[in-house]
Amino acid sequence: MRVRNFTPFAQLVYANEDAQGRQFDILIVKQSYHLTDNFALQQSVEQEPLNFSDTCFGEVNLTSLRYPSDLVPYKPATDVIVIADAFAPGSKPLPGWEVAVQAGPVSHRLQVTGPSEWRRRRGKWQLTDPQPVARIPLRHELAFGGECPGPDDSILTDERNPLGRGMVHPDTHPKDQPIPAPQVLVAGATLSDPFRKQEPAGFGPIPPAWLPRRPLGGTYDDDWLANTWPHWATDYDFAFHNSAARGMKARGFLKGDEMIRLTGLHPEKAEITLHLPGDTVIAHLLDRDGQRRMVRLNLDTVYIDILDAAPEDCLISLTWRMAFLDRDVEWLEIDSESHANPIRALASDKVLYPAPHPSELFAGDVPGHERKVANVE
């Protein structure tokens, strides 16, 4: 199979398999954009390469995940990932405020506070007033979680966020030792008890070894080692590859033309409003009999990194993906709405088909047959 890319976007074709050990092929295309001086979205001249491994802010497993790997076979829904710090309105130090992300139907709010801690006073735990601050990193380290000593010399870990703070056991925590309170919370959450677990909160990605992602990767035990290795476990779920935080995953796939609103996440602009360009990525599959099928890739990752204050250094990337079988494909051609394949007008079949779920590749429901999205002129 030969590949021809009519777009400037980064692309990769590689093979993977499903839980039944059936191999299929994956096309990944990543579009990269930056912000102009007036905070408008603009296609980057130099496109970002695909990321082949999880990238953390610092040491792996000891710092928050910043960029999840692009090298995944399939996601059943769109992840919205935002890397940013929280900035107080007017850049004036405050004890707390709210920040928000909206990406089409995906909407999530957080409340952030300055540093505070639980202290034992007159036989009761009391929360100190938050220190006023103007900027708070939105990292897992400042959300609820962490680890602490447990009974019988055990170590208790919040597997939803092992890097966080606030995890304590009432029977083992020294009464004269303050307890740092989380600074990043879901909007509306209250801190009324130092021993009450909170929902880990954030806009950034969740590592694969944390809950709730890890169980979706499957069960790897002695039975798997004896009967299934080196393939995925039989209970492996493609949803394992969705890394978005709770509240940041779409129901299904975004279209790529949604409005994005970022509130309280940049020092120079209290609210940034962006409109995704609607530059749908299309694959043209030309088989050995000369038949051409056009398939719309799934937009499964919207990644926004505005941690750098300079607009031109901010990164917005859209990752599109398609599962297919290359055994009958002679040419795979890639284009988009703004970078059209000149041969598109010559196609006899102008129907645009949706990218299939990998299981459909082995059930006869292959793109170009039963389902269709639209006619392309």
Predicted local distance difference test score (pLDDT) of residue 345: 64
Instruction: Give the whole-angstrom CA distance, residue 98 versus residue 78.
Output: 24
* Residues 6+ away with beta carbon under 8 Å from 321: 26, 27, 28, 29, 72, 74, 75, 297, 298, 300, 355
Instruction: Give the whole-angstrom CA distance, residue 309 versus residue 85.
Output: 10
Instruction: Give the whole-angstrom CA distance, residue 290 versus residue 178.
Output: 72
Predicted local distance difference test score (pLDDT) of residue 347: 62
CA angle at 92 for the pair 87 and 97, rounded to the nearest 5°: 50
Predicted local distance difference test score (pLDDT) of residue 369: 39
Predicted local distance difference test score (pLDDT) of residue 204: 98
Stated as kind and residue range, the H or E segment containing 225 is helix 222-227
Instruction: Give the whole-angstrom CA distance, residue 70 versus residue 87.
Output: 29
Q: How many CB atoms lie within 10 A of CB 170?
A: 10
Q: Is 227 left (phi over 0), alpha (psi -120 to 50) or beta?
A: alpha
For each of the chain's 377 residues, which pLDDT tens digit applies? 999 999 999 999 999 999 999 999 999 999 999 999 999 999 999 999 999 999 999 999 999 999 999 999 999 999 999 999 999 999 899 999 999 999 999 999 999 999 999 999 888 899 999 999 999 999 999 999 999 999 998 999 999 999 999 999 999 988 889 999 999 999 999 999 999 999 999 999 999 999 999 999 999 999 999 999 999 999 999 999 999 999 999 999 999 999 999 999 999 999 999 999 999 999 999 988 888 899 999 999 999 999 987 899 999 999 999 999 998 899 999 999 898 877 666 566 678 999 999 999 998 644 443 444 454 44
Query: Which pTM was predicted?
Result: 0.94
Strands of 306-366, DSSP E: 315-324, 329-336, 351-354
Nearest to 118 by CA among 193, 185, 198: 193
Predicted local distance difference test score (pLDDT) of residue 366: 47
Predicted local distance difference test score (pLDDT) of residue 237: 97
What's the burial of 347, exposed, middle or buried (CB within 10 Å: 0-12/13-18/19+)?
A: middle
Predicted local distance difference test score (pLDDT) of residue 158: 97
Predicted local distance difference test score (pLDDT) of residue 344: 67
Predicted local distance difference test score (pLDDT) of residue 290: 82
Average pLDDT value for the chain: 93
Sorted by where each begins, the domain ranges of the chain are 2-84+205-375, 89-186
| Identity of the residue numbered 224 | W
Instruction: Give the whole-angstrom CA distance, residue 43 versus residue 10.
Output: 13
Whether 256 and 312 have beta carbons less than 8 Å apart is answered as: no
